[in-house]
Structure 1
Amino acid sequence: MTHVLHRRIAHSYPFAVSGHGITIRDSAGKEYIDASGGAAVSCLGHSHPDVLRAMREQVDKLAYAHTSFFTTQVAEELADDLVAHAPDGIGHVLFLSGGSEAIEAALKLARQYFVESGEPQRRYFIARRQSYHGSTLGALAVGGREWQRREFAPLLIETHHVSPAYEYRGRRVDETPQAYGERLARELDDKITELGADHVSLGAVPAPPGYFQRVREICDRHRILLILDEVMCGMGRTGTLHACEQEEIAPDLMAIAKGLGGGYAPIGALLIQDKIFATVAGGSGAFQHGHTYMGHPLACAAALAVQGVIRRDKLLANVRTQGAYLSRRLNERFGNHPYVGDV
């Protein structure tokens, strides 16, 4: 009998006892190929020696120091590293314990920014239907999966949703990809107008050619913050460190996690535009938010080592190479299959 509340209560889980590279071994000696990297997390595989070494060195020096009283060298170095490779205008980083926490922090910081800017009426968030941004209450509110939201609906903050950028299902026969993207951008613009531009805090949406640029333009025109959730698609997964690099835009706030620490320790981060930092720094002087384990030295050491390996071993270039190969082979095999679309 287990005393752990597992994700599925009636399910009997194998005991994972070790991992190396792409494999995980259970207590019966059976090996599993971890093809998904867990929840799209283990970007370097398991037991990478460089990451384990960095974690051992850090825990021998200092395992924990509360961020109300201290900073640490490893947190400062990781922040410097992330800012050096961040989109334009990103100048500060808040370290948390995962993606949901990063989204929660983004929602709160967006709200605090407008309060301290003298616009407390801005309280609406716009996201996309069918999206997933985490399972905590704020993240669930901006997410678009109704089946996950339903029983918690009375507890959720008011949010609004627009169509997802799903070209395969959503583009009309008579539309070009560019026209489809423009139609979705207009839907966002119309939603902002419906709510009143001076009541909206952010818009968050992905998509087809030119769509992201239009979303950025719309947010700028209405002075709305653009929050990007790159928890899953960021930190190298799409062949660039940040997926938004391929769209040639910069967000106001961006959540990252998963590939940040590669599963070696729980860590997420919120990347923050300078204008937001400057407003809070020149106003109240403090972000009204905090967790016990934010900026954890061991997690920061793991993440710093993971990012170092990604650059040293030129893994972003390898992602692009392997991605092109996989796309070609999948299209060769399934491109004309009657039951497969949108390869």
Structure 2
Amino acid sequence: MTASAPARPSSPADHLWMHFTRMSAYAGQPVPTIERGEGCHIWDTDGKRYLDALSGLFVVQAGHGREELAQAAAAQARKLAFFPVWSYAHPTAIELADRLAAAAPGDLNKVFFSTGGGEAVETAWKVAKQYFRLTGRPGKYKVISRAIAYHGTTQGALSITGVPPFKAPFEPLVPGSVRVPNTNFYRAPEFVAGDEKAFGRWAADQVEQAILMEGADTVAAVFVEPVQNAGGCFPPPPGYFERLRQICDAHDVLLVSDEVICAYGRLGTMFGAQKFGYQPDIITSAKGLTSGYSPLGAAIISDRIFEPFATGETTFAHGYTFGGHPVSCAVALANLDIFESEDLLGNVLRREVDFRTTLNRLLDLPIVGDVRGDGFFFGIEMVKDKATKETFTAAESERILRGFVSPALFERGLYCRADDRGDTVVQVAPPLISDQAVFDEIESVLRSVFTDAWAML
């Protein structure tokens, strides 16, 4: 008999197709594999500890290893593991919808559950389209969003997304999406550089120009994040959202606040719109709603927009099998209990200045051009020349960001995001339970890696 060759050890890359991953990178090396978490830290299968400076993926607000969230999931699964909210209801979905409506600003009182953020965005666009059909304006179907903004990967949400490389492989996409400038003040046009208020007015006015160019009778909604994620945490300039609300009202266009990242305490308020004082017509949310212990998203919709759906034989022919899942809703309720009992929103508001101040120390490095963001959500932009703000070429970003910075951060015990969807940035968004010790650890590792990256240049 011929002895068979010994089987090689299984690798996650053998069968697992990882999301947003260059799979060839793992052809000859192991995949980083995380097996447990506690508080603000995670451990890999070799027992090495890392600081989770991205909250998983802007998700784990209450921190890892929360026994009360696991218990809430188990208790609900024993009682009712699954039932849909298609023409029926169950108690946890009802209770969570009531709680979100009470927390949301203004008349946002109707909650449509999904399993994630992209689905919530998809829901919002479809609501907007049907709303205008029901109110006699079927030509209003287009959406305006901002350059480099990420809104999801489903065909509709991807159409709204403003990151060209993500869209190109899947085109043609859903028609009717239009792009306007974002609020990156670091790279503001020369004629408004140095004046945040003027820049904010200019950036908002570009939305109105797009509405007029497309024709107000064709535009249904504007989708914006309170702090734009892709490109590296762009906060709104003073007056931006006030002006945007005026523009939407003037042209009968819905204002959708995409808060998949910015809701549930990331900025120190339950919803990002509350941090910046504007009233959306719809909020899309997910991620921090359950602190990631179970998948759940929600589109929270105003009474005014819901009204024509509540009459006659009208149906919103849209839904998700696992949207409003009983276990996920139970976990969300327990998660919101933690928010209250441990004052997680207050922790962010009390410490956000300290977090910003700690990260601002990095500005003494020649490779750090800008530190920006809000709450516990910041981006650090890397540049070749601070005086001119010259950014990296594609080849340099490949070599420096992907080839060194990203793996070096992880090797030195920091899990965060190194990204070049816009300019070259590193993003940090630690759990809402974080304190100064966490901030100092983030800054220390970033300083070490940035210093070595500069030496490579």
Match of 1:140 in 2: 158
Matching of residues 241-280 of structure 1 within 5 Å: 241-280=270-309
CA distance in 2, matches of 1:279, 1:127: 25
Aligned residue for 2:111? 93
Identify the residue that residue 129 of structure 2 maps to in structure 1: 111
Answer whether contact 1:172 1:180 (CA < 8 A) is retained: no
Once the two structures are TM-superposed, the CA of residue 321 in structure 1 deviates from its matched residue by 1.9
* CA drift at 1:32: 2.6
More displaced stretch, 57-66 vs 280-289: 280-289
Alignment partner, residue 202 of structure 2: 183
Structure 1's 327 and 101: CA in aligned 2 closer, same or farther, altered over 3 A? same
Q: Which amino acid aligns with 1:21?
A: G
Which of 353, 369, 386 is matched with 1:341 structurally? 369
Q: Distance in 1 between matches of 2:15 and 2:53?
A: 29
* Of 8, 26, 35, the match for 2:53: 35
Is 1:295–2:295 an aligned residue pair?
no
What's 1:170 paired with?
188
Post-superposition shift, 1:172? 2.9
Q: Distance in 1 between matches of 2:221 and 2:190?
A: 28
The verdict on how the C-alpha distance between 1:188 and 1:173 changes in structure 2, with shifts beyond 3 A counting, is: closer
Letter in 2 for 1:3: H
Conserved? CA contact 2:268–2:349, under 8 Å: yes
Q: Aligned partners of 1:93 and 1:174: how far apart in 2? A: 39
- Cα offset for 1:119? 0.5
Distance 1:338 1:20, change over 3 A: closer
Q: Is the contact between residue 120 and residue 284 of structure 2 (CA under 8 Å) also seen in structure 1?
A: yes
Give the C-alpha shift of residue 278 in structure 1: 0.9
Give distance in 1, aligned partners of 2:311 and 2:248: 24
- Worse-matched range after superposition: 127-136 or 174-183: 174-183
Deviation at 1:334, TM superposition (A): 3.1
How far does residue 284 in structure 1 lie from its aligned partner after superposition? Answer: 4.2
AA at the equivalent of 2:125: L
Residue 286 of structure 1: how far off its partner (Å): 2.0
Out of 183, 188, 197, which is 2:216 matched to? 197
CA drift at 1:136: 1.2
Contact 2:192 2:199 survives alignment (8 Å): no
| Mapped contact 2:287–2:297 kept (Cα < 8 A) | yes
CA contact under 8 A between 1:213 and 1:247: conserved in structure 2? no
Residue 321 of structure 1 aligns to a residue in which SS?
helix
1:147-185: per-residue Cα shift (whole Å, max 9, x none)? 111121213322101000111111536552111111112
Shift of 1:329: 2.3
**Equivalent residue in structure 2 for 1:62, among 80, 98, 102:** 80
Question: Of residues 357, 361, 364 in structure 2, which corresponds to 1:328?
Answer: 357
Q: 1:238 aligns with which of 267, 277, 293?
A: 267
Matched positions, count: 342
Relative to structure 1, the CA distance from residue 187 to residue 246 in structure 2 (aligned partners, 3 Å threshold; closer, same or farther) is: same
Aligned-pair identity in percent equals 39
Question: Aligned partners of 1:170 and 1:101: how far apart in 2?
Answer: 32
For structure 1, list consecutive stretches of 5 or more residues without a partner in the other structure.
Answer: none
Cα distance per residue 1:293-328 (max 9 Å; x no partner): 111000001111111101111111111122111112
The answer to whether 1:79 aligns with 2:108 is no
TM norm structure 2 = 0.72
Tell me if structure 2 keeps the 8 A contact 1:16–1:27.
Answer: yes
Larger radius of gyration: 2
Q: Which secondary structure state, in structure 1, belongs to the residue aligned with residue 256 of structure 2? A: strand
Give RMSD over aligned pairs.
Answer: 1.6
CA distance in 1: counterparts of 2:342 and 2:365, whole angstroms: 37
- 1:281 aligned to 2:310? yes
Q: 1:131 maps to which residue?
A: 149
Which consecutive residues of structure 2, in runs of 5 or more, have no partner in the other structure?
A: 1-9, 227-235, 372-457
Specify the alignment match of 1:212 in structure 2.
241
Superposed CA deviations along residues 207-258 of structure 1, whole A, max 9, x for unmatched, are 2000101000100011100111000111110111111112211111110111
